[in-house]
Amino acid sequence: KKPTFILAQSERRQMYEKKDMSKAKKGTLFHVSDYVLRFENQMAEVSNWHFEIELTLKSQNRYTKAIFPKYLRLLTQKRNAQLIYVTPSNIIYNSLDMFKEYFMLKKQEEELKSIDASAFDRLRIVSSKEFNGVLKKMLEENDFINER
């Protein structure tokens, strides 16, 4: 059995799945990506490709204290996961790239030593103009999908 595309899941559906049967109280924050593509290989291992479509820039605090640390932990825990930020804006692209570099430099510090170096390779920041080409290349070269 070859690796299989299982599903594409929207942000709304991810929220429903997280909240369903949850004992979470009102005001609980749930962090989900805009879209997830899920693949499964012949050993029933799952690879989630998280997509964030960044149309507006959030605060520096939000990126440095919440968003990037959360995704870097996820990419460290889930070695087959991918995170792709897509933006049409050069300003947002440059800012996201700067935050990624900031965390790559900070990785030497104690609080981020547990972050796997490969997490940064699987965190991609892509211009919307380059998205189709980058996605095509990822699909062609990804070891999980292509069972290399």
Q: What's the pLDDT band for 107 if we cut at 50, 70, 90? A: confident
Q: How far apart are CA 135 and CA 3, in angstroms?
A: 17
What pLDDT sits at residue 145?
Answer: 78
Residue closest to 117 by CA, chosen among 125, 128, 133, 106: 106
Give the model's pLDDT for residue 74: 94
Please enumerate in sequence order all residues whose Cβ is within 8 A of that of 70, keeping only pairs 6 or more positions apart, or say none: 31
Which pLDDT value is given to residue 57?
Answer: 94
The pTM is what? Answer: 0.82
Contacts of 86 (CB under 8 A, 6+ apart): 51, 52, 53, 54, 126, 127, 128, 131
- Mean pLDDT for 16-25 is 58
Q: How far apart are CA 85 and CA 107, in angstroms?
A: 20
Lowest mean pLDDT among 5-9, 51-55, 60-64, 85-89: 5-9
